[in-house]
Structure 1
Amino acid sequence: MLQVATLRNDRENVLAGLAKRYFPDAEATVDRIIELDDQRKDIQTKSDAILAERNTLSGQIGQLFKTGKKDEATALRAKVGELKEEIATLQEEATTVAEQLEEALLSVPNVPHELVKQGHGEEENEVYRAYEGALPKLEGGAKPHWELADEYGIFDLELGVKTTGGGFPVFTGQGARLARSLVNFFLDRNTEAGYVEYQPPLLVNEATARATGQLPDKEGQMYHVTRDDLYLIPTAEVPLTNLFRGEIVDKENLPVKLTGYTPCFRREAGSYGAHVRGLNRVHQFDKVEIVEIADPATSYERLDAMVAHVGQLLTDLGLPFRILRLCGGDTGFTSAMTYDFEVWSAAQERWLEVSSVSNFETYQSNRLKLRYREDKKTTLAHTLNGSALALPRIIAALLENNQTAEGIVLPKVLHAYVGKQLLTR
């Protein structure tokens, strides 16, 4: 959530940033927020003045009774009663204005970084780093991963339909071992890079989902346990970042680096067609996440470091990848800058997104009330996160790109984890 002071003091730059997203009625919304904040301040000023007057008169009443001036004291008591009613009325107005102000603030997305291009959607994203090698080309008879899954016993979509429904794959045999191995590989590499491993809850309350921006923006994509009013997490980012909600971190302890593995749950409403076959888009999937809480002065250096870290994971897996810097219209609601990683699927002959790495600046930390302390002064921290990595499309690319007549060749870094060099029929 943007700070009112930012909207007020940097209005033109905010509007220019929101224009990159094609955010509708930006000027009217920003002006409405400033107007509501002015009303809030005006009500608070009036309330404080009346409260001060009431306290003064209350003190005088006791003195008048002591000196025998009962009539004057009674008159002042009646006046104090009227002031109490005025304060109560102002408090009701303040509550209404505060609710309207919060609702308006929640409707405004983050302001994109100055390097983010204006654009409507994914077709206008910038190729930040292209793949420099020759893309792998498969011989005739190459198969997409959903066919290889049946042939090699990697995962079973029909079993998922039987037990739950479409979009819930069941990994079996060497496929289950491959998935577990990837999780361990990612976690080991993350902890070697200084990230502390956490195992967070898979269900969160409304306050947690709201703090990181999933609510009110993405409630339609989240699974809601209505009886308990809890949400299944769409990403480990949500509980991991919220571990520091309301905290003050000493500057010398920044950056705080967290990692965690969780299943993730997304409704993915409206996703149909050949492009979402197999593991291309599912409702439940495994993902390892990295999260950082950073000093604003160095948060973009931390973003670059996270991008490099994810890139090294993909390099070690031997997967051709490219990096996109998302345009304003495709950047997530809460993000100031996002890099997407895409791996090449040789069988499908297209790029598949496997990771997003983002800097949210103070957008999340303002909701989280997450600050850092320097010289007894507290300031909002910056929050960042990224997938390191999501499993489904990684597995899809590994199967498709590495299929041979003898079997599916595993990258060297996974040999010890999987216990073999080749997946066989």
Structure 2
Amino acid sequence: MFDLKAIRENPQDFDAGWARRGLDPQTPTILEKDMLIRKAKTMVQEAEAARNKASKQIGAAMAQGNRDEAERLKTEVAGAKNVIAALGAQLESEQDVLNAILASLPNIPVDDVPDGEDEADNVEIATWGDPKTFDFDPKAHDDLGEALGMMDFETAAKMSGSRFVILRGALSRMDRALTAMMLDMQTGEGFEETSPPLLVWPKALYGTGQLPKFAEDSYATDEHFLIPTAEVSLTNTVRESILDEDTLPKRLTAHTPCFRSEAGSAGRDTKGMIRQHQFNKVELVTICTPEQSEDEHKTMLCCAEKVLQKLNLPYRVVELCTGDLGFGARKTYDIEVWLPSQNTYREISSISNCGDFQARRMNARYRAGEKDNRFVHTLNGSGLAVGRTLVAVLENYQNADGSITVPDALVPYMGGVERIG
């Protein structure tokens, strides 16, 4: 959500920010609704004051034996009540409309986010490692996994449909090993390991910005939603709270399954493990003050990069342009790992700074002074997506005979296994 007072005072700044994301001016409609609501509130207050005044006068009129005046005042009170009820209904309706408008609007990009229309306009800011050259044609991860008999899409499809997989044997263990290594690394960087709920109420998804705009991308039960990412659960741990400033920054990490319908990805990455309905991820979330926000963003990026560096997987970092920026983000870095079979880099982590966008929707604040409660800043990112990291390991560490060399950093987590074949 957004600060209405700030929109009233600087409507041109908000429209300029939304224009960078391809939206038409929004503040004329917002300010019109806001004016109607404020006028209705004033009229309600005036009607309530008139009702209260007339109510007090009824007793005095009765005490003086002036029944006619008392009856007139009773009629006045009844009329005021009708006006209050009618205005209240109008006020509620207008407020609902305004809230829906504000809830549908994306975050405002910070000034230094590059302008652009889509991912083609993202800006590369760093690379690490050199893509490996092979003396044979490198295979795709799904071909490797199926040939090993350890990656089974066909059986998964019989019970769940497309975009699901069963991992077996050493690849299942590698999935677990990657998770354990990531959690050890992130907790070593000061992130508190957390095991949050996988089912949340709609208000939790609203708080982090997945609802109402992205309802079709989520899986719903009767009362709950399955989390699309642990960002939802971890960020909502501070909803409706006032934190002590000296407890910030608060850094959290969690390994969870994630569930996404991938409603907008028809025809994209339908083969293999790149884009699935259910996948595992180690998530990073930071809650901090506005002053800490930028440094925490860089820290989280560094923590995610270190995982790929430890696995010796080549990658690059890009800054997302305004046209590719996520709904709740005001600035995002993507980490893209090298996949030999595709001869390109593919996203393996997004590290986003949401500013106070989510905090306002969750009413999450901190004490900046005795009577000064301010909204926190929230940040989130993958540290990393476990399935995509497994994909990258298989492709970058494959051998000509179809076997997989286990990265040195993973060998202890694999019980000493150095090769999968």
Normalized against structure 2, the TM-score is what?
0.96
1:58-137 matched pairs, under 5 angstroms: 58-131=55-128, 133-137=129-133
| Match of residue 206 from structure 2 | 210
Say if 1:2 and 1:108, in contact at 8 Å, map to a contact too. Answer: no
Q: Deviations over 1:3-36 (max 9, x none)?
A: 222322222222222122112x2x1x22111111
Of 69-78 and 243-252, the range deviating more from structure 2: 69-78
| Structure 2 counterpart of 1:21, one-letter code | R
Tell me, in whole angstroms, the C-alpha distance in 1 between the residues paired with 2:319 and 2:8.
29
Once the two structures are TM-superposed, the CA of residue 151 in structure 1 deviates from its matched residue by 2.6
Once the two structures are TM-superposed, the CA of residue 219 in structure 1 deviates from its matched residue by 1.1
Tell me, in whole angstroms, the C-alpha distance in 2 between the residues paired with 1:381 and 1:271.
33
1:159-308 matched pairs, under 5 angstroms: 159-225=155-221, 228-269=222-263, 271=265, 273=267, 275-308=269-302
SS in 1 for 2:284: strand
Tell me, in whole angstroms, the C-alpha distance in 2 between the residues paired with 1:270 and 1:310.
26
1:11 maps to 2:11: yes
SS in 2 for 1:378: strand
Report runs of 4+ in structure 1 exceeding 3 Å deviation: 270-276
SS in 2 for 1:296: coil
| Structure 2 counterpart of 1:412, one-letter code | D
1:352 maps to 2:343: no
Say if 2:338 and 2:345, in contact at 8 Å, map to a contact too. Answer: yes
Say if 2:249 and 2:292, in contact at 8 Å, map to a contact too. Answer: no
Tell me, in whole angstroms, the C-alpha distance in 2 between the residues paired with 1:130 and 1:10.
39
Tell me, in whole angstroms, the C-alpha distance in 1 between the residues paired with 2:354 and 2:385.
20
| Match of residue 308 from structure 2 | 314
Say if 1:150 and 1:156, in contact at 8 Å, map to a contact too. Answer: yes
Tell me, in whole angstroms, the C-alpha distance in 2 between the residues paired with 1:423 and 1:292.
37
Say if 1:259 and 1:291, in contact at 8 Å, map to a contact too. Answer: yes
SS in 2 for 1:17: helix
Q: CA RMSD in A?
A: 1.5
Say if 2:55 and 2:77, in contact at 8 Å, map to a contact too. Answer: yes
1:366-385 matched pairs, under 5 angstroms: 366-376=360-370, 377-385=372-380
Tell me, in whole angstroms, the C-alpha distance in 1 between the residues paired with 2:264 and 2:252.
33
| Structure 2 counterpart of 1:362, one-letter code | D
Say if 1:264 and 1:286, in contact at 8 Å, map to a contact too. Answer: yes
| Structure 1 counterpart of 2:305, one-letter code | G
| Match of residue 149 from structure 2 | 153
Tell me, in whole angstroms, the C-alpha distance in 2 between the residues paired with 1:307 and 1:99.
38
Tell me, in whole angstroms, the C-alpha distance in 1 between the residues paired with 2:264 and 2:211.
19
Of 271-280 and 340-349, the range deviating more from structure 2: 271-280
Tell me, in whole angstroms, the C-alpha distance in 1 between the residues paired with 2:132 and 2:357.
40
Say if 1:237 and 1:385, in contact at 8 Å, map to a contact too. Answer: yes
Say if 2:163 and 2:270, in contact at 8 Å, map to a contact too. Answer: no
Q: Deviations over 1:168-205 (max 9, x none)?
A: 11111011110111111111111111211221121222
Once the two structures are TM-superposed, the CA of residue 155 in structure 1 deviates from its matched residue by 1.8
| Structure 1 counterpart of 2:289, one-letter code | D
CA pair 276-127 structure 1, distance change in 2 beyond 3 A? farther
Tell me, in whole angstroms, the C-alpha distance in 2 between the residues paired with 1:356 and 1:395.
17
Of 276-285 and 367-376, the range deviating more from structure 2: 276-285
Once the two structures are TM-superposed, the CA of residue 276 in structure 1 deviates from its matched residue by 4.2
User: Share of identical aligned residues, percent?
Assistant: 37
Q: Deviations over 1:330-373 (max 9, x none)?
A: 00111101111000012321111100010111111111011111
Q: Deviations over 1:299-354 (max 9, x none)?
A: 11110111111111111111111111100010011110111100001232111110
| Structure 2 counterpart of 1:89, one-letter code | A
| Structure 1 counterpart of 2:300, one-letter code | M
Structure 2 runs not aligned, ≥5 long: none
Tell me, in whole angstroms, the C-alpha distance in 1 between the residues paired with 2:400 and 2:105.
54
Of 75-84 and 5-14, the range deviating more from structure 2: 5-14
CA pair 142-274 structure 1, distance change in 2 beyond 3 A? farther
Q: Deviations over 1:133-192 (max 9, x none)?
A: 432112214211111102333321112112211111111101111011111111111111
Tell me, in whole angstroms, the C-alpha distance in 1 between the residues paired with 2:81 and 2:265.
57
Of 266-275 and 44-53, the range deviating more from structure 2: 266-275
Q: Which of residues 399, 402, 412 is equivalent to 1:404?
A: 399
SS in 2 for 1:55: helix
Tell me the matched-pair count.
419
Structure 1 runs not aligned, ≥5 long: none
